[in-house]
Chain A
Amino acid sequence: MNTAASQLFGGQLNVVNIGLSMFEDDIRSQGAPVRTLDWTPPGGGKPEVIAALDALARPENAGRIEAANAEAVDRIKNAKPMLVGFGRAIDVVPGMTPTTILHSGPPVAWEDMSGPMKGAVTGALVFEGLAKDLADAARVAATGEITFSPCHEHQCVGSMAGVTSPSMYMHVVRNETHGNYAYTNLSEQLAKILRMGANDQSVIDRLVWMRDVLGPMLKEAVEFTGPIDLRLMLAQALHMGDEAHNRNIAGTVLLFQALAPGLLQSSFSEAQKKEVFDFIASSDYFSGPTWMATAKAALDAAHGIEGSTVVTTMARNGVEFGIRVSGLPGNHWLTGPAQKVIGPMFAGYKPEDSGLDIGDSAITETYGFGGFAMAAAPAIVALVGGTVEDAMAYTRDMALITTDQNPNVTIPALGFQGIPTGIDVRKVLETGILPVINTAIAHKDAGIGMIGAGITHPPVDVFEKAILALADKLA
């Protein structure tokens, strides 16, 4: 025995107390510093999950996991997503065909889709001229002639239903550091919109205008402005009080500021330019998809690192919640049931009207903003039902399940600490803390749209499945 125990003697005893809080007061009353852990059984107390955690914790595994995770997080931090253009999905998205419909979340068949997603799919089929009306669209969707595929498997992300059809205009984002691209379609702004499951003529008309005016004008604008540094803009938006998932007012102003000269120089009429300006001004959400594509470009660069336990995708299709993990390469989805979203609702709607958690927008939390950066956005704590102190606590808690902080995107109220980055499957299960996701609530039925906003969490199942798969592969 070396002298460590004798080093303990004579010094100040300093205690971490685990399990029985009754011991804490006695120790403190004797003048020793003591803190009691907010302890819960790891892995929910499930023996197979604990065995997997232990296997990964063995020194021969832990070392390479740490190195792999450091690499994954470095890629997320160093990724430099630039907005380089806009283009139609059929022209820019890998694997897109005239009869492909992309959707949010993990794979799901037409017959299993949630109400809002079915509403969006049928609306998109009408918009594309693949069906003559909504009833016909439902028939077409069921024929098997349409290829349904997750956005995430095509370098894309899609907000809410995520329904992306060939002629929709997409952001084109290039990660300058690693060379990969990410895509997402354009904000439809209001509440009664395709991505929320609405599909009446007003929705289709808007999609047509976006295809014919907004998209092409944005495309021209970026040709004038040149590439726009989205990470820098995101960092500024967080300093201005956005968390860039449910609050986008600052980010939208910044993005518009950058695009405006280009929009003005475009070849469109003054009336059309005014329409576009009015459209952008009509909702703070305009830049929401932009930040999703920013995150996607960074996270795709971090996917597929042998040995990494860092989460690179969190996405929901309204029925299932799916994650992907860097060390489980390709489209290895770990899925569990989509959860309810808890939060304030528009007048006239009740919690039982809510569809389950849906959309690829949790890519923002996967990167480290959105719910993870609640401390940056005290203005919207009311939206998520809490106090400013709660907002700080959300971000601090997320630091407990992530690998590092991103020094490029910081939070003033937390002493300019970087956003929590690199969700570690192991830490989620060790602590029992689930990632927090800020999100919108769509009506459970097709054709209605957004009815509220709030917070939700992934089902713990997805992390349990992930740790078992990782232990299988690594240990």
Chain B
Amino acid sequence: MSVTAVIRKNSYFDSVSLMSISTKANGIDGVDQAFVAMATEMNKAVLENLGLLSDELKAATTSDLMIVVVPSEGADGDELVPLVEELLVRKAPAAGSAEVSHRTIASALEEDADINLAVIAVNGAFAAREARKALDAGLNVMMFSDNVAVEDEIALKNLAHDNGLLMMGPDCGTAILNGVALCFGNAVRPGTVGIVAASGTGSQEVSVQVHALGGGVSQLIGTGGRDLSAEVGGVMMIDGIRALAADPGTEVIVLVSKPPAAETEAKVLAEVANAGKPVVVYFIGGSRDAVLAAGGHFAASSADAARQAVELSSAAASAPETLDAGQVDAVLARLTPEQVNVRGLFCGGTLCDESMYALLNDGHEVFSNIQKNPAFQIGAADSSRGHTFLDFGDDEFTNGRPHPMIDPSNRLARIVEEAKDPSVAALVMDFVLGFGAHEDPAGVTLPAIREAQRIAQEDGRHLEIIAYVLGTELDTPGLDAQRKALAGAGVTVTSSSTVTGEFARAIARKGAAA
């Protein structure tokens, strides 16, 4: 009979625990007999009766722990001892009803080693530090925080890249991973369209339009708004393309971004060629030729991106809703000759962008807080002039208050203000539904809309209000309820961000023609 005995000098365990540990040790595969006890005279006598007391064990003293293993036929005692020793490591049971709270990522991981994603939304001064800890611990990261130094972003993305992890952000507000929408995401059908997006509301829009067309989303990877800058170089978008290319659940890849830096765009498009799957590229205002040359599918709008993606996938696509010319004519007929300007009041940055570009690409002058051309930039304190499109999610407008997707009330005063301007033909606005968003954005805005309509009416004109509700019927509140609430107040409800821009452009053309 072979016996493996280990003496842990000077290790105290109480006898009750040791009895329980011995019982468990005897249940280990390959153990014929196991004995774990303090080397008291009594315990040594028991071993002697079993014929297991070696000279070494005989010499052990009361404060020594004895681990004695008799392996079964064919088992190796030296391999079994570590398994017995594992039983000596005690873990505290979780507290009865009280939730165990954790202060650090490391301590959360000790309780649950299956954690695979850290969502980081702490002050930007500390965010990079937490992200580094998460990546070092092998976690993917979604960083909602902004105001993170670009050097930190580059270092984190390179670290993630080297470790095969996702580093989404900083300033990443939307992702859908394995069907779970994170931060500001919408409840969309699972499917085979994978999205990599540098723009939060842009990716939300593509995901809900894919859903509206009958398609579904496999994964939505956010990169953060700065990923496609020259400095960062698109590390996350490129890794995202590769991850989706390797993902058997993804048939089609859609890329969404504001216009990237030229050299970064080239790098990303080079990756498109290697994806081995259809890649639809929606870079707002991007070059069709470059995309086509890279073997990608060029999308001129968010709706176009969603349509192509669904058509390229195996999902049965329904027909996209387009701009209703008759509806436009009816609106135009109600306007006075002086009503020529469009005012866009947006919560979603990319939604604002898409409508603004619809006018800019048509040759209109547009003032905005997100205008690239400094001559047309206006601030939060400035009055609107001509066509003005405002992104209320911009830092200058939030000014420390919650983002308008969380609390749309900071644009209410502006709605009323714009109604007083007789040159205004239409107000264009968005209502963003989904996780993280306000529980009833239409409801909280309707009083201001009614007030705006009353002001115009008393002034003897019709103020057209065009609203786009970004969401799905699976969101809470649902898309239909919000649309109905707005339509009931005489608001024209559009079907997509793209159609919203087209509607605004159609009204702007009236002014240009006049």
Query: Which residues of A line the B interface, CB within 8 A?
Result: 1-6, 8-20, 22-23, 26-27, 30-33, 35, 37-42, 45, 50, 54, 78, 80, 177, 229, 231-232, 235, 239, 389, 392-393, 396, 399-400, 405, 407-410, 414-418, 430-433
Contacts and interface: CB of A to CB of B under 8 A. Distances in A.
Contacts of B93: 414-415
A19 B164 contact: no
A389 B95 contact: yes
A408 B63 CA distance: 10
21 contacts: A4-B164, A6-B246, A8-B117, A9-B249, A10-B178, A10-B247, A11-B178, A16-B108, A18-B119, A18-B122, A19-B122, A19-B145, A20-B144, A23-B182, A32-B180, A41-B122, A80-B10, A231-B12, A407-B90, A416-B17, A430-B104
B181 A30 contact: yes
B178 A9 contact: yes
Contact of A417 (B90, B115, B117, B127): B90
Contacts of B121: 17-20, 23
A416 B104 CA distance: 24
Given A18-B121, A45-B125, 9 more contacts: A1-B164, A1-B242, A1-B243, A12-B114, A15-B115, A23-B119, A30-B181, A35-B102, A416-B17
Given A14-B114, A14-B117, A5 B140 contact: yes
Nearest to A236: B14
B88 interface: yes
A50 B219 CA distance: 36
A415 B17 CA distance: 9
Contacts of A78: 10
Given A9-B243, A9-B249, A15-B117, A1 B17 contact: no
Interface in B424-480: 435-436
B351 interface: no
B114 A42 contact: no
B177 interface: yes
Interface centre among A1, A38, A177 (most CB of B within 10 A): A1
Interface centre among B92, B109, B115, B182 (most CB of A within 10 A): B92
B181 A16 contact: no
Given A10-B249, A80-B63, A417 B92 contact: yes
Interface of B: 10-14, 17, 63, 88-93, 95-96, 98, 100-105, 107-109, 111-112, 114-123, 125-127, 129-130, 134, 138-140, 144-145, 161, 163-166, 177-183, 218-219, 239, 242-243, 246-249, 435-436
B90 A19 contact: no
A80 to B, nearest CB: 6
Contacts of A9: 177-178, 218-219, 243, 247, 249
A8 B116 contact: yes
Contacts of A432: 103
Contacts of B180: 13, 15, 27, 30-32
- Lowest 3 CB-CB distances: which A-B pairs, in order? A4-B164, A19-B121, A2-B164
A396 B111 CA distance: 12
A22 B129 CA distance: 22
A315 B138 CA distance: 39
Contact of B11 (A4, A10, A392, A408): A408
Given A13-B117, A16-B108, A18-B122, A433 B103 contact: yes
B112 A6 contact: no
Nearest to B12: A408
B218 to A, nearest CB: 8
Given A30-B179, A415-B93, A45 B126 contact: yes
Contacts of A54: 129
B165 A417 contact: no
B243 A6 contact: yes
A396 B92 contact: yes
A432 B247 CA distance: 41
Nearest to A375: B92
A6 B247 contact: yes
Contacts of B115: 14-16, 33, 35
B98 A393 contact: yes
A199 B249 CA distance: 81
Given A23-B436, A80-B10, A393-B98, A8 B126 contact: no
A407 B90 CA distance: 8
A16 B115 CA distance: 7
Given A27-B180, A433-B103, A35 B108 contact: yes
